[in-house]
Amino acid sequence: MDVIAKQAQRKARALMWMGSSVLVTELAVIVAGTFNYYSWDIMEPISYLMMYGNFLAGFTFYLGNKKDLDVDSLTEVLAARFRRSGARRQGIDLEK
């Protein structure tokens, strides 16, 4: 069970890093589009749609898990989900 818990924690941390990199990439696209390629008039609706998509993703996650969205609880929720799926794959009953 310790191996499953370590793998779940590692997957949760990796998923958090990927999510953080997506947010940084979105910011870079907005900045580059505003100052290098287009103008704010073009990038404003694009940035609005990015923000709206991020909000919908976060709200959908909240509705599915009924947990607050701070970084610690999000990592723990993901790790618990990966632990359950890993235990289920190994045939371990966590209800006992």
For residue range 1-42, list pLDDT tens digits in order. 888 889 999 999 999 999 999 999 999 999 999 999 999 999
User: Is the separation of the CB atoms in 27 and 82 below 8 Å?
Assistant: no
Greatest Cα pair distance in the chain: 59
- At 49-75, the pLDDT tens digits run 999 999 999 889 888 877 776 767 788
The confidence score (pLDDT) of residue 91 equals 79
Residues in Cβ contact with 73 at an 8 Å cutoff, skipping those fewer than 6 apart = 67
User: Is the separation of the CB atoms in 43 and 33 below 8 Å?
Assistant: yes
What sign has the CA pseudo-torsion 13, 15, 20, 24?
Answer: positive
